[in-house]
Structure 1
Amino acid sequence: MEKLVNKDKTFLSLLTKHKWAVWLTILLITIIWGYAWVLMKLSLNYMGPFTFSAFRFAVGSLTLLLIVWISKMGVPPRAMWKHLIILGVLQTSVVFLLVMYGLRFVDAGKSSVLLYSMPLWSSLFAAKYLGEKITPAKLTGLLIGMLGLLTILGWDIWIGQNVNVIIGESLIILAAISWGIANVYYRLKLQDMPKLQSSAYQMLFGTIGIIVATLFIEWGQPLSLHVNSIYYILFTGVFASALCFTVWFYILSIIDMVTATLATLLVPIFGLLFSRLILGETFTLGITMGSTLIIIGIIVAQVKKRNSPRR
């Protein structure tokens, strides 16, 4: 285990020496994640949402496990397996089963905004389980962000939106809550594990959960492995899932959580942009107002932390 930690430290030290490389990496990651929302939406033309998730994360897990094997990292200690299973269920199974099902009814751009309300939920759970204080600025930011969520959902209700759309939006918000819980659980139980190893095995266990759900719910449903659908699976599995999530864990060890949280705001922005350019989705008044409030809320809740002393 000590050798694995040393490998992590070597990689982190290389990134730390080149700040421009860190920020370029963050930009590339958020662009890939934003573009992935479009591919996730398009994949529903070829297969069910759970089937796509099973293919995507199976590819992602195999990619990471191959890298772990080449790096000679081995299998995590048995004491960590329980925590990896829980993290895999929270961060991979629950989040992406809910997101993919919600995407059947919700536009890709709006879905990305709702899921990336995650920092709001992370702040609440961190206050309870990590002992982080909810400052007046953070409380104000949370209230503004919640108002943004209600604006998106409430606007749809008032304009007579289809009930399936509202259900889809609610499922994606539940996915954001699960992601927030997963972030706190990782900090509590798995912070000291090698990033690549923890990412690979949590994704493996999460993928098993997705496959089980797929077999029960979508067995026998139409499946088309077309050139396009294979591209969607490979891109989201290898790049958006395996590589990006692993590199992101390394980034979190270099920059502070405030900066990391603000950086995730680029994802829904790119998601909305790509959805507009590729899918032709329109920006309604409710989406625009709600998205703006969520982004303002997260900024208000997080930026003020820079003025507080570091522990």
Structure 2
Amino acid sequence: MTTVSAPPRRTEPLAAGAAAVTVVLWASAFVSIRSAGEVYSPGALALGRLLSGALALGVVLLIRREGLPPRGAWRGIVISGLLWFGFYMVVLNWGEQLVDAGTAALVVNVGPLLTALLGVRLLGDAMPPRLLAGMAVSFAGAVTVGVSMSDGGGASVLGIGLCLLAAVAYAGGVVSQKPALAHGSALQVTTFGCAIGAVACLPFAVQLVEQAADAPVPATLNMVYLGVFPTAVAFTTWAYALARTTASRMGATTYAVPALVVTMSWAFLGEVPGPVTLVGGALCLAGVAVSRSRAPRPGPARA
């Protein structure tokens, strides 16, 4: 009889490190988007980011000679490319122009909860009590951060709707990407997903060309940064980690993003967070720690 061995435990630290790289780079994206978004429209910014990311990923793919993904990966790649790389980035950029940062963070952070629910329903993911408890703590932290950062000026209904659509697209993209990773490598799935998202955003090409001609250099550099690091690097490390754990657990990991955004805004933009914001950030990190922890193994029975 042939036995199937469990994946080596040495991959677990690598997957955790990859997830940490993703979270840090995605948090940094919010700082860059604030700069580039003042010059570039939502669609043009998304297209410029995706083109930069696809170019960087394509070069690495050619160097590694990985070629095209297997046939079984394409369905998930196309769906995640359209939903997550394309639709998500456009509607999130648009939504964040219509609501304050706190409201956007609050609404978008429904995404990990939707990911967990879809993962259980469509992928058969388990929902251990620690994961559920950790997500509840992190979501409470995200709500706290969102409320504390809200400017109180009234939120646009359209903006809230766009952020909610972004959360749904994020969840759908993660759940569709997971099966693709059973067939293709993290680099293949990310590269072609990014390319499909870029193709879907080509209707914004004229806007991108016109706005790039007048844009200040820092805004364009921020757009390129978004493509190379929070997209090319971070989505690849995300896919690497996602291939080695459940969609629900990876979704819970992204609850560290609000806490890191608060820290980076403090460090790079001089935006000093208030006590309530700091408490919310601490809750986000505590929830992630709980959700990624494992229940202790039962010791030997004692007489």
TM range (shorter): 0.7 to 0.9
Is residue 2:37 matched to residue 1:44? yes
Question: Is the 1:110–1:287 Cα contact (8 Å) retained in structure 2?
Answer: no
Aligned equivalents of 2:50, 2:82: Cα separation in 1: 12
Matches within 5 A, 1:132-147: 132-134=125-127
Q: 1:303/1:73 Cα in 2 relative to 1: closer, same or farther (>3 Å)?
A: closer
Aligned residues: 291
Is residue 2:170 matched to residue 1:179? yes
Q: Which runs of 5+ in 2 are unaligned?
A: 1-6, 299-303
Aligned match of 1:242: 232
TM-score with structure 1 length normalisation? 0.74
Deviation of the 1:203 alpha carbon: 0.8
Is residue 2:215 matched to residue 1:225? yes
Question: Is the 1:99–1:172 Cα contact (8 Å) retained in structure 2?
Answer: yes
Partner of 2:237, secondary structure, is helix
Partner of 2:97, secondary structure, is coil
Aligned equivalents of 2:270, 2:98: Cα separation in 1: 16
Deviation of the 1:151 alpha carbon: 6.9
TM-score with structure 2 length normalisation? 0.75
Matches within 5 A, 1:1-311: 16=10, 19=13, 26-77=19-70, 80-108=73-101, 111-112=104-105, 114-134=107-127, 161-164=153-156, 167-212=158-203, 214=204, 218=207, 222-223=211-212, 224-254=214-244, 260-281=250-271, 283=273, 302=291, 306=295
Partner of 2:172, secondary structure, is helix
Identity %: 22
Q: 1:261/1:275 Cα in 2 relative to 1: closer, same or farther (>3 Å)?
A: same
Q: Which runs of 5+ in 1 are unaligned?
A: 1-11
Deviation of the 1:40 alpha carbon: 0.7
Q: 1:192/1:258 Cα in 2 relative to 1: closer, same or farther (>3 Å)?
A: same
Question: Is the 1:120–1:142 Cα contact (8 Å) retained in structure 2?
Answer: yes
The root-mean-square deviation of aligned C-alpha atoms, in Å, is: 4.0
Aligned equivalents of 2:266, 2:79: Cα separation in 1: 36
Question: Is the 1:117–1:294 Cα contact (8 Å) retained in structure 2?
Answer: no
Partner of 1:276, secondary structure, is helix
Q: 1:82/1:51 Cα in 2 relative to 1: closer, same or farther (>3 Å)?
A: same
Question: Is the 2:242–2:250 Cα contact (8 Å) retained in structure 1?
Answer: yes
